[in-house]
Amino acid sequence: MQILARYLGMTFFKNLMLSLFGLAGLFFFQNIVTQLNEFSFNHLLIYSLYDLPRMLVMVAPPATLIATVLTFSTLSRTNELIACHSIGISLMQMLGVLFPIIFVLCCISLVVQDRVLPVFHEKKSLYYWREIKKKQDFFLDVKQDKIWYRSNNLIYNLQTFDPKLDRILGIGVYVFSPQFDLVEFLQAETATYNGKEWEMTQGKTTRFDPKTGFPIVEPFKSHALKIKETPKDFKVIEKEVDRLRIKDLIRFIERNKKSGIDSKVMEVKLHSRFSLSFIPLIMCLLALPFSVSRNREGRLGRDLTMALVITFFYWLSYSICLSLGQNGMITPILAAWLPSMVFGALAAVLLKRMA
């Protein structure tokens, strides 16, 4: 059994690596080709390289499914599967050899999402805004307790931003001179966009005398903040939560909840990090019934086609559930895990029929 386990494990591992990097390469190539009309090849190449770790995480589930199909279809066509059964080795025992490999892949995927992707997302975001969009002064840093946003000679410190109400809760604006000397600091409890400009309420203005540097503080109930940024510019913050680690994202969500801000989108992103990491286990179970069918008149092409069809419907249902969760129609945790539960149950039924 040990010799067979090593043989089966190595065969599956080779197919898994081939599928993983093959699919990632296809996504990498497609990402460049589809945007060549908008950006230069050099920019797209570097930008896509920053996005490569995310691509590997995204293609891990379908790569596992394809690797399972390749492994068991080959064993079935060469009658090696029958030989295994003849010496008393069941399909579940063979599956037990693959599961530890897939589980390690799932754990690596989760670690990559938590430790690696945030770093690459930050680099990718800065490269996009500074090199591709030519906004050299752009800077956005999302932490669990504050948000920093820089544009031209202004630096904003936002506690939270509510994209539905176009309102900022807890804002501080640092105004600098061309020599980058602090000349003014505005602080307010809220800032609301009225369609033309931001209106700050319940705050104070601190101006620094250019000669003495002495601060002059003036409180205000309402103050117009004339800046070029609109709510559309600040809505990029929702995308930037991808640079947060899991523990920081949890704190960020808790702080938004305390401020009364709807955080369903971020909660769905949080739970989807876990569910996405463990989808490969379900994909393996789904692929198995189509790879070891008793009737083997079909070929590998048919098995792979079936695998791609399963992948399509899985990702379709996964995307729909995530959208429903972000819109509040179902809970975030159910949105992230419902497809895995449904397809996992389907795989269990199919495997039971094979027994």
Average pLDDT on 41-49 reads 91
Question: In the chain, which residue ranges form alpha helices assigned H by DSSP?
Answer: 2-33, 41-77, 80-86, 91-111, 117-127, 231-234, 236-240, 246-258, 264-277, 279-291, 300-326, 332-354
**76-108 confidence digits (pLDDT tens):** 878 888 788 788 888 888 888 999 999 999 999
**pLDDT of the residue at 84:** 83
User: Above 60 in pLDDT, residue 144?
Assistant: no
**pLDDT of the residue at 122:** 85
CATH topology assigned to domain 153-227: lipopolysaccharide transport protein A fold (2.60.450)
Average pLDDT on 59-81 reads 88
Within 8 A by CB and 6+ apart from 247, the residues are 144
**pLDDT of the residue at 319:** 94
**pLDDT of the residue at 143:** 63
159 band by pLDDT with thresholds 50, 70 and 90: confident
Q: How far is the CA of 86 from the CAs of 74, 304, 354, in angstroms? A: 17, 27, 17
Domain boundaries, the chain: 2-133+255-354, 153-227
**217-230 confidence digits (pLDDT tens):** 999 999 998 777 88
**What is the layout of strands, in order, in the sheet containing 167-176?**
139-142, 147-151, 154-162, 167-176, 182-193, 198-208, 215-225
The residue ranking higher by pLDDT, 132 or 329, is 329
**302-348 confidence digits (pLDDT tens):** 777 877 788 889 999 999 999 999 998 999 999 999 999 999 998 88
Q: What is the pTM of this model?
A: 0.80
**295-309 confidence digits (pLDDT tens):** 545 466 777 787 778
Within 8 A by CB and 6+ apart from 305, the residues are none
**pLDDT of the residue at 217:** 92
